[in-house]
Each structure stands twice: as structure tokens, then as C-alpha cells.
Amino acid sequence: MNGKNGNNSGNGGLLHPSVDKVLVIEGTHAASYAVKLARVQVIAAYPITPQTSVVEKLSEIVSQGDLAAKFIKVESEHSAMACCIGSSISGARAFTATSSQGLALMHELLHWAAGSRLPIVMVNVNRAMAPPWSIYVDHNDSLSQRDTGWLQFYAESNQEVMDTVLQAYKIAETVSLPIMINLDAFVLSHTSEPVAIPKQELVDEFLPARKPSFRIDTADPKAFGALIGPDAYMEMRYKLYSAMEDARAVIRDVDSEFAEKFGRSYGGLVEEYCTEDAEIVLMTSATAVSTARIAVDELRSMGFPVGLVKVRAFRPFPVDEIRAIAGRVKKIGIMDRNVSFGATGIIYQETKAVLYNAPVRPPLFGFIAGLGGRDITPETIKEIFSYLLNHDEPESETIWIGLKSKSAKQPEHPLPQNPGGQKKSEGV
């Protein structure tokens, strides 16, 4: 849906001249078609619900001869990533997809892929970690891979899944780092939406064939990623760190270039909605953003000065963008669909961290909602905004929304009578 700040990811883009055709497809298939358009050369994957249809569709595409790729069936996600690493280091464009426990099994090789500076793109369908078993969405699976050196994007719509896969190869091959694109289980993965499929020739212009800066050559074999001593390891880590820092500008540039060619933009690392004159903003990510847009529209129509910030890129973390927003607003609520046990929600933590050394630091409120696929509805969002409108400061470090508990205080936060009459908060 189109918002006031010009979100172009919805239906507005369907009539753009770059569009070849519009298909009503689920999020997993949006990823599959994007992989085809990106002319990926090697696909290696192991099936796991709710990722399966990503690679199922790809296997059809490859077997029909519509994509000249090697499709490698493997016996585990660990092997899937190993295949991607092997093919990527030999110069191929590689893709895999997984979810939850499968992603956890890949963990060792996620480090290896990033440390090898390989531009692998992976789609991760966010699914809650077991036990207890769940196949529904939350973000702990991908956020557990925070420090592996992978870029992480969270998609709001099926169109954004498609567009982000195309952008991701360009970003990854520019900064030589792997990218994980996350989409919410079922809410995106198995829900059909109209998706504009761009013309192949335009994608080819946008994303030319990969030109690796180094690759394995069996005629001149070398040891890749072999042992080095303490006198050089740190420098190699610094290079990876710098590449991730550099990725911020690349993400913004690629998004602009994409907008020029295809008529859709996602704001780079973050997208703001109704924030220009907002006093209170909610930060969140993925499909909850869509829902929050409705709540924001409703509250705005009632006169409440609220806004929304979509965290699209989690790695690299949008430091400058968040500091700029913090400088303009009075309160920031962060809704995490995840939890770090012994701490708080993870985006909340990260936001606090980037603001500590910022000149202006409004109060931050950390909410946890929607774990294990519990629905986040407009009511959920409005409950959070009510809390924000009614409190100058949070009553606790984490506020669990919708928790079924006898002892826990069930917050009933009616909206204030006068939208303009709330108590003014000061930056600390």
C-alpha cells in the first residue's frame, strides 16, 4: 500500500514500463523468479518448511531449461552452504534458501562464506526456533546469525522479496559479502500477492554477469582461507568489518539505481512513514510494518502525531538513519519479533547502542510481540502506541505485548482523550 512518504513497494509499481508481467504469487515464488532473473548459476538447497516452495519452483525452472543453473540436491543445510561456497569461490553466482533449524545447522559455514568474502545470496524464511516446535514466524533464527558477517534484509511484501534478491546480488558482488534476505513464514512465504516481474533485459543491464576479483583455478591451485598467523588475522577481520561499513553507501546507491530503472524504492537501509512531523515513532521490521501502516493512518486521522520506521537492513545496522530520526522525535518505541534471553529484544538493544553516543537521546521503549507466529494486528500496534502516548518512560526494560498471564499486569492503555494534550517528553 502506498503511504504518505511514498512507499513504492505496493501496487503502484505494477504499471511501470519496466514490468514484463504481473503474477499473483506467494513470497517464496517471488524469490524463485528473482533467482531466475538474476541468472544464478548454482542452486544448492535442502528442503525445510516453509522454505520448500522456493527451491521447488527453482527445480522446475531449472529442469524445464528456463535457467541454465546447476541444481544440487544435498543431504543437509550444512552441505547446501558448502556447495554455495565451493561454486561461488569458483566464480559462479550461487543461491540457497533455508529456514530456522536449517539456518542454525549452516552456522559454521555462514562464517566461512563471509570470511571468504563470497557474494552468496540466501533467502531465509523466518521461522521460530524449536523447541517447542513451531513453523510460524519470528526472527530469532536469523538474528542468532547476527555476527557471522552476513548482510541481513527483512522484507515487507512479496514485491520487496523479488526486488531485494535482485538488489542483493548487486550489493553482494560490489562489497564481496554474502547477503541473507528474510521473509516472514506464511505471512509472506505462503500468501499470494500481485508481483511485478521486471523485464529480463532490464535486469541484465542492472545486474551484469559476476566478475569475481579472485577465484579458484584448478590449473593454478591455491589454498583459500588457509591458516595465517596472529600477525595478519586481525587485518583480515578489519577488512571484513570495513566492507560491511562500506555496504551502507552501496545499499543506498543500489536502491536509488533500482528505483530509476524499475520505479520502486525501499529507502535503502530504512524506510520512514509519516515521520516528518511525528513526535512518537515506532520502529519495527518485516510484515509487521504493513500492519503498523494501517494503525498509523488511523491514529493520524484521529490527530495523534505518530510515525513509523521500517528497519529494512539489520546488518549493516542503520546507524546514521536512526540517529537522525532520534534527533527529531520525542519517543521511540521498538517492536521486536524476537528476544535475546538475558537481555531484551535485539533491535531495541542495537538501537540503544547506536544512540548512546548520539547528541540527542529520546526515551526508548522495548516491546516484544508476535513470537512463534502470534498475529500482530492493528490492535497490537495501537496498544503499543497507547503505551507510548501514556508513558514518559518505560516501566521496564522489556514490555511483552499480548502475554497470557495471571500475575503479569495486563496493560489496558486507552488512548488519551486529547491527541495534542499528552505530557511532553524531553530528551535525556
Partner 1 sequence: MAKYKYTTVEEMPPLAFSLESTRKIPTGSWRHVRPVYKNKTSPCEVGCPAGEKIPEYFELLRQKRYEEAWYKILEDNPLPGVTGRVCYHPCEGQCNRKPYDEGVAIHNIERFVADQNLRNKKLPRVSESPKSEKVAIIGSGPAGLSCAYQLARKGYHAVIYEADHEPGGMLRYGIPDYRLPKKILDKEIADIESTGVEIRPDSRIGGSVAWSELEKYDAVFVAVGAMRSRKMDVPGEDMKGVFTGVDFLWEINNGDVPKIGRNVLVVGGGNTAIDAARTAVRLGKKATILYRRTRTEMPAVPEEIEEAEKEGVRFEFLVAPVKVTGSKGKVSRIELMRMKLGEPDASGRRKPVPVKGSNFQVAADTIISAIGEEPDLSFLPYSFLKKGVRLFVDDDYSTGVPGIFAGGDAATNPNGTVVNAIRAGKEAATSIDEFLGWRTKSNGTPHEVVRPEDVNTFYFPHESRVKVPRIPVAKSKTGFHEVNKTLSEAQALDEADRCFTCGTCLHCDVCMTFCPDVAISKDESGEYVIDYDHCKGCGICVNECPREAMELVPEGSREEVEEAQQV
Q: Grid coordinates representing 69?
A: 543453473
CA distance 305 to 59: 49
CB 31 within 8 A of CB 183: yes
- Using DSSP's 3-state secondary structure scheme, residue 42 falls into strand
In the complex, the residues that contact partner 1 under the rule CB under 8 A are: 115-117, 176, 213-214, 218, 220-226, 228-229, 231-232, 235-236, 238-239, 243
Q: Quick one: which of 336, 328, 324 has its CA closest to 285? A: 336
The distance of closest approach from Cβ of residue 41 to partner 1 in the complex, given in angstroms and rounded to an integer, is 17
Nearer to partner 1, 21 or 239 (CB): 239
Q: Least CB distance from residue 86 to partner 1, whole Å?
A: 9
14 and 164 Cβ atoms separated by less than 8 Å: no
Closest CB 92 distance from partner 1, rounded Å:
15
Cis peptide, bond prior to residue 50, ω within 30 of zero: yes
| Nearest to partner 1 of 222, 406 (CB atom) | 222
Q: Output the smallest distance, CB 249 to partner 1, in A.
A: 18
Q: How far is the CB of 221 from partner 1 (least distance, A)?
A: 5
To the nearest 10°, report the CA torsion of 253, 259, 261, 263: 180
Q: Which is nearer to partner 1, 242 or 396 (CB)?
A: 242
* CA dihedral sign of residues 259, 351, 103, 89: positive
Q: Which is nearer to partner 1, 131 or 229 (CB)?
A: 229
Question: What is the closest distance, in whole angstroms, from the C-beta atom of residue 200 to partner 1 in the complex?
Answer: 31
Contact by Cβ (8 Å): 190, 8: no
DSSP bridge partners of 123: 97, 181
Residue closer to partner 1 by CB (options 221, 359) is 221
Shortest CB 222 distance to partner 1, Å: 5
CA distance 84 to 94: 5
Nearer to partner 1, 229 or 342 (CB): 229
CB atoms within 10 A of CB 338: 23
